[in-house]
């Protein structure tokens, strides 16, 4: 019962609302998806009691899976460190380890874009020392050609293969030149109905058709659903150039829906995961838990546990 109480977590007025200012609301009932989800999340959450902020830096990694067992069925499951936006770097790294994940997409809160080459290498080395591979960085919104070049140098210096970004349409030609020069991938991130440039991943998909194949998309499944687009179908459509993915859940399929723990919302996460497995998706699947940035660990752990439970079912299907 303790794990269930922790998984729910206290509501925080800092919870973001897509398309509007945050408002107080109740937390969805924990029983919505049934006891099977709770059992899965409890397995991840149970060691987390009392850990927050700097104390996370002392957290050991979770237990290793049994011999030959991959709970992720080959998916490169990780965390977009925006989830730990308000935690310092060491605590963010410890948070990824605490839920036993080994991949991440780093946000500039944990590695500033205006950093030196040496600083970038040092931060990347910290992740590697913790057993975490940085598969992407972002979301980065470059304003001009100089900022585009800087984000490529940033990724190169840190040894990061993919840049998740939100460029202007006018800058796509520059983006393509940099892709060729640096031999790195870029993934255009969609931000839902409020985004007048890339609301849906299909908008990015149509725009990148003539460009170098290293210019691709990052599908945010929550923002995609808020546009009225089926995330699973978008995954299949963009499969050939899908280089990153933000996985989350939302309370309602509307323009200003609020984020919530995975499994508590309306997204067909089973269908999303099935689509990723069908296309043999080989890039980052990043949990982006935005509901409670002041206390992200309980909801992060619950969400990871839920994903493991869903994949366990898919693995036996």
Where are the chain's structural domains? 34-57+72-315
3-state secondary structure of 116: coil
Q: Could you tell me if residue 200 is left (phi over 0), alpha (psi between -120 and 50 degrees) or otherwise beta?
A: beta
Find out whether the peptide bond into 139 is cis, omega within 30 degrees of 0.
Answer: yes
Mean pLDDT of 204-220: 98
Mean pLDDT of 8-37: 40
In this prediction, residue 185 carries a pLDDT of 98
Distance CA 12, CA 44 (A): 22
The dihedrals phi and psi of 39, each to the nearest 5 degrees, come to: -60, -40
Q: Evaluate if residue 225 carries a pLDDT over 90.
A: yes
- Rg (alpha carbons) of the chain, rounded to whole number: 18
Q: Evaluate if residue 270 carries a pLDDT over 60.
A: yes
In this prediction, residue 189 carries a pLDDT of 98
Mean pLDDT of 240-250: 98
Question: Using an 8 Å Cβ cutoff, are 62 and 43 in contact?
Answer: no
In this prediction, residue 283 carries a pLDDT of 98
By CB atoms closer than 10 A (0-12, 13-18, 19+), residue 1 is exposed
In this prediction, residue 289 carries a pLDDT of 98
CA neighbours closer than 13 Å in the CB half-sphere of residue 263: 28
Confidence of residue 42 (pLDDT cuts 50, 70, 90): very low
Distance CA 278, CA 155 (A): 29
In this prediction, residue 79 carries a pLDDT of 98
In this prediction, residue 67 carries a pLDDT of 57
Q: Which CATH architecture has domain 34-57+72-315?
A: Alpha-Beta Barrel (3.20)
Q: Evaluate if residue 32 carries a pLDDT over 90.
A: no
In this prediction, residue 69 carries a pLDDT of 83
Confidence of residue 8 (pLDDT cuts 50, 70, 90): very low
Q: Evaluate if residue 275 carries a pLDDT over 70.
A: yes
- List, as own/partner pairs, every contact residues 42-46 make where C-beta atoms lie below 8 angstroms and the sequence separation is at least 24, other chains included: 42/3, 42/4, 42/7, 42/305, 43/305, 43/308, 44/99, 44/100, 44/301, 44/302, 44/304, 44/305, 44/308, 45/3, 45/6, 45/7, 45/298, 45/301, 45/302, 45/305, 46/2, 46/3
Proportion of the chain above pLDDT 90, given as a percent:
76
Proportion of the chain above pLDDT 70, given as a percent:
78
């Amino acid at each position: 019962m303790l794990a269930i109480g922790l998984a729910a977590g206290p509501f925080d007025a800092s919870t973001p609302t897509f398309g509007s200012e945050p408002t107080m609301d109740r937390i969805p009932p924990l029983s919505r998806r049934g006891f099977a989800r709770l059992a899965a999340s409890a397995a991840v959450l149970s060691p987390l009691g009392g850990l927050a902020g700097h104390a996370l830096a002392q957290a050991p990694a979770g237990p290793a899976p049994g011999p030959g067992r991959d709970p992720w069925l080959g998916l490169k499951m990780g965390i977009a460190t925006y989830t730990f936006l308000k935690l310092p770097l060491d605590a963010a790294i410890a948070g990824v380890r605490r839920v036993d994940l080994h991949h991440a997409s780093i946000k500039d809160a944990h590695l500033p874009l205006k950093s030196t080459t040496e600083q970038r290498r040092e931060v990347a080395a910290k992740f590697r020392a913790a057993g975490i591979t940085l598969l992407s960085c972002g979301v980065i919104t470059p304003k001009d050609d100089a900022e585009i070049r800087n984000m490529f140098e940033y990724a190169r210096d840190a040894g990061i293969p993919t840049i998740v970004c939100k460029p202007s349409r006018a800058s796509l030609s520059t983006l393509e030149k940099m892709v060729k020069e640096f031999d790195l991938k870029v993934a255009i991130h969609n931000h839902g109905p409020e985004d007048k440039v890339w609301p849906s991943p299909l908008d990015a998909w149509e725009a990148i058709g003539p460009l170098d194949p290293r210019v691709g998309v990052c599908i945010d499944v929550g923002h995609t659903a808020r546009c009225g687009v089926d995330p699973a179908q978008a995954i299949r459509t963009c499969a050939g150039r899908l280089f990153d993915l933000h996985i989350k859940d939302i309370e309602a399929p509307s323009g200003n829906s609020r984020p919530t723990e995975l499994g508590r919302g309306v997204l067909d996460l089973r269908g999303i995961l099935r689509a990723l497995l069908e296309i043999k998706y080989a890039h980052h699947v990043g949990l982006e838990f935005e509901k409670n940035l002041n206390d992200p660990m309980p909801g992060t752990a619950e969400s990871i546990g839920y994903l493991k439970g869903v994949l366990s079912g898919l693995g036996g299907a």
